[in-house]
Amino acid sequence: MAEQLKRPNTITSRRGFYVKMRLNGKQNQLLEKKNPYFRFYKWILWLSLSLYFLTSFFISHKPIPLSKTHFSKSPSTVASRALFESSSSSSASTNSSALPPEKKKQSRRHLLKDLKIFVYDLPSKYNSDWLANERCSNHLFASEVAIHRAIANDDDVRTYDPYEADFFFVPVYVACNFSTVNGFPAIGHARTLISSAIQLISTSYPFWNRSQGADHVFVASHDFGSCFHTLEDRAVEDGVPEFMKWSIVLQTFGVKHRHPCQEVENVVIPPYVSPASVQRTLDKAPVNGRRDIWAFFRGKMEVNPKNVSGRYYSKKVRTVIWRKFSGDRRFYLQRQRFAGYQSEIVRSTFCLCPLGWAPWSPRLVESVALGCVPVIIADGIRLPFPAAVPWPEISLTVAESDVGKLGKILDHVAATNLSTIQRNLWDPEVRRALLFNEEIQEGDATWQVLYALAEKLDRSRRTVRVSDQ
C-alpha cells in the first residue's frame, strides 16, 4: 500500500485488480480463520482504499483552478467581458465619487478596457507651433489641442511602446490658421498638412501600413469634420480625403442621415468650451440659482438672409426666430457679440441652439454646462456621447419647420415637465461629460472619447492578438 500511495498515477488502472487479488485469494481466507484480527485488518484496508480512491478522484478532477487560467485568454470570455463591462458602465460611472482614489483608478481602467494609445511625436510644425497664437487652445475648435494634451499627459492610457498600443493618435492641428482679415480659422491647408503627416508616419513607422490607418485616430473639430471645408456644398464635393478614409475621426459634425462628411469611422465630439470659463461663471451664479431670462439667444441672426451658392444661413431658422420673437418680452434675443454671454446663459431657463451653417454649435455645450435647457433646432443632428448624456431627458428638440411655434412649445414645457428636465440636466455627471479638461477626469469629454474608442477595439491589433491564441 505504501508504495502504491507514493506512485498513484502509474497504477490507477491496475488498482482494482490488485485489491481483488488480495481479498479473494484463498490464502486470505485461511488467514482469516487463523487470525481473528484479520477481519479487522480487512476493514481497515477497505476503508483506506476507499479513502484513497476518493482523494485521488478529487486530485485528478481538480477542474476549477486549472481551467480558470485558460479561460481568461479565450476569445469567448473576452466577448463576455466586454458585455459585462458595457452593462456595468452606467452604474459604475454614476457614483465613482464615493470610491477611494486607488479603487477609482481601477474602475476607470476597467471601463476603458485597459485601453492603450500611442501618440506620435510629430515635428512641431504639425502642432505645437500653432500654439504661439493663444486662441489655438481656446477657441471652439480647440478640442484638437485639448484631446492631444489630455491623452499625452495621461500615464494610464498613453503608451510609449507602439507594439502595445490599441490605437495611434496623430496630433495635427488644422484649425489654428486664423485669417488676418476676419479672424476665422482658414482650413484650406488641412488636407495637405494631414497628408504630409501621414506620409511621415507611414515611412518612419510600420503601423500605418499594417492597418491602412484603421487603428489611427484624428481630430476634425471644425464645421464639416473630415471634409475639411467650411461650406457644406464644397465640403460635400470634396468628401473625406482618400488618405484617411480607413481611419477613425473624432468630429463635431454629425447627422443621423447619410452624409458624405461622415463616411468614415467617426465619433461625434462636443465643440471646445473652456472648463475654466464655465467654472468662473458658476462661481458667480450657481447652476440652480435664479433664472430671470426665459428664452435666450445671442448670435448671428440675418434679417434678410443671403443666398450663398444656393444655401441660406441657418436655413433661415434664425431669421424666423428674430422676426417672430424679437418683439416678445419673454425672449432675450441679441445679435451683437458679447464676451460675457456665459453670464446670460446661466441666468436663462431655455437656451436656443439653432443650426448655423453646420447643425452643431458651442451653445449646446455651454447650455448644458451652465444648466440652461438647450432647445435644439437642427433637424437630424447627431449629438455627442449619447451613452453618457441622456439628451432626450435634458433638452428639447424643436423641428426646424416648427420654429414659428417656439413660444407655445416652451410655454407648454414650462407648465408641465420643465422641473423634471432641469433636475436631469443639473446632474454633475451630465454637465461634466461635454468638457475637455487639461488632465482627464473620469466621465469628462476626453474620457468619453476613450470610452468610445474602447468600444471600437475590434479595429485594433488587440483582436488580432486575442484570436492568435
Ligand X SMILES: *[C@@H]1O[C@H](CO)[C@@H](O)[C@H](O)[C@H]1NC(C)=O
- Write out the residues near ligand X by the rule CB under 6 A: 94-95, 97-98, 177, 179, 186, 188-189, 202-203, 206, 209, 307, 309-310, 393, 412-413, 416-417, 420-421
Which one, 233 or 263, has the nearer CB to ligand X? Answer: 233
CB-based contact 406:466 (threshold 8 Å): no
Q: Which is nearer to ligand X, 267 or 433 (CB)?
A: 433
Q: Cα(274)–Cα(134) distance, rounded to whole angstroms?
A: 13
- Cβ proximity to ligand X, 75 vs 390, nearer residue: 390
Of 42 and 405, the one with the shorter C-beta distance to ligand X is: 405
- With respect to ligand X, which residue has the nearer C-beta, 403 or 421? 421
Show the cell assigned to 293. Answer: 431670462
> Cβ of residue 157: shortest distance to ligand X, in angstroms?
25
Q: In what order do the strands lie in the sheet with 348-354?
A: 331-334, 293-298, 348-354, 373-377, 396-397
CB of 406 to ligand X, least distance (A): 13
- Cβ count within 10 A of residue 181: 7
d(CA 332, CA 347) in angstroms, rounded, equals: 11
CB within 8 A of 118, min separation 6: which ones? 158, 159, 160, 161, 162, 164, 165, 167, 168, 169, 207
Q: Which is nearer to ligand X, 75 or 206 (CB)?
A: 206
Q: Which of 423/465 has CB closer to ligand X?
A: 423
Q: How far is the CB of 356 from ligand X (least distance, A)?
A: 18
* Cross-strand pairs, 248: 217, 265
SS3 assignment, position 327: coil
Closest CB to ligand X among 190 and 301? Answer: 190
- Residue 218 C-alpha from the chain's centroid: 15
**At its nearest, how many Å lie between ligand X and the CB of residue 90?**
11
Q: Which residue is nearest to ligand X (CB)?
A: 189
Strands 307-308 and 311-312: antiparallel
Written as one string, the DSSP assignment of 269-314 is -PPP--HHHHHHHHHHS-TTS---EEEEEES---SS--EETTEEGG
Cβ of residue 143: shortest distance to ligand X, in angstroms?
20
CB of 411 to ligand X, least distance (A): 10
Nearest distance from residue 278's CB to ligand X, in Å?
21
| Shortest spacing between CB 61 and ligand X, in angstroms | 45
- Measured at the alpha carbon of residue 358, what is the angle toward residues 355 and 359, in degrees to the nearest 5? 45
